[in-house]
Amino acid sequence: MNRFELIEQIKKTKSFLCIGLDPDLSKFPPHLLASEDPIFEFNKAIIDATKDFCVAYKPNTAFYEAYGVKGWISFEKTVQYIPKDKFIIADAKRGDIGNTSTQYAKAFFEAFPCDAVTVAPYMGEDSVKPFLQFKDKWAIVLGLTSNAGNIDFQIIKNEFEESNYETVLKRVSSWGSADNTMFVVGATNPTYFASIRKIIPNHFLLVPGVGAQGGSLQEVCKNGLNSDIGLLVNSARDIIYASKETDFAQRAGEKAYALQVEMSQWL
């Protein structure tokens, strides 16, 4: 999906909601556990209940890898089931030397029908650029994440007298363009959005941390929106685990709808 198509979907859906599909069997409704593929059955029900209220889905590959081959089969079935007009993000946080990154990119862009992959930029330009070589595909690069550990490396000042995450934003944005590069910026860092927008005014931001992690959608929108919307706000646990009973999909749909209504007021 290219930038124009993504923006059109946001306008059509009146939403910039991304739903994280992070399956954890210990949190599933018990009646699903007896099915042949409980992960896919869970995801399928969540997708059916929420697809009218979001523009993107973000399966985190760790939650599939944890179950071995069966988990990867569930991942493939899930990304194949997601409607074609939804933006699919493989949250894999890949990034390695160039020839290895090329294989990671081929995996998620050719073997699987994903539109984007999250990428860790620590190894530099040659680890990121392979993800930028695919038409209408995206690298979503870790910028300023929502976890408490971001203070260890991302916030600290470097020899350029700027925080490391600022250097990442400046360098990486020059390797691609706003048409194939996004950045992860956590909703738990709302005070940083205004300054981040001065560095990358046109790029889309993938924003985790709204909901269970305490991030404020209002603060994110106030400081993070740009003329093309420029945000994909992710919510996972608050939506997909809204209930552990047989009504789990219905409750997920209600949670997604509530966020869609709130988002529509900003469009």
137 as an active site residue: the answer is no
Average pLDDT score over residue span 29-47: 97
Average pLDDT score over residue span 116-121: 98
Kindly report, residue by residue over 162-196, the tens digit of the pLDDT: 999 999 999 999 999 999 999 999 988 788 999 99
Q: Is the pLDDT of residue 213 over 80?
A: no
Task: Report the alpha-carbon distance of residue 232 to residue 30 in Å, rounded.
Answer: 32
Kindly report, residue by residue over 135-169, the tens digit of the pLDDT: 999 999 999 998 889 888 888 998 888 999 999 99
pLDDT band at 212 (very low <50, low <70, confident <90, very high): low
14, with CB counted inside 10 A (0-12, 13-18, 19+), is middle
Q: Cβ neighbours of residue 234 under 8 Å, at least 6 residues apart?
A: 18, 19, 20, 56, 58, 206, 207, 208, 209, 210
Above pLDDT 90, what percent of the chain?
88
**Average pLDDT taken over every residue of the chain:** 95
What's the pTM? 0.96
- Mean pLDDT lowest among 58-62, 200-204, 220-224, 229-233: 220-224
Architecture category of domain 3-264 in CATH = Alpha-Beta Barrel (3.20)
Catalytic residue among 93, 222, 244, 255: 93
Q: Is the pLDDT of residue 263 over 90?
A: yes
What number of other Cβ atoms are within 10 A of residue 206's Cβ?
A: 25
Question: What's the length of the chain?
Answer: 267
* Token reading at 160: 């350029």
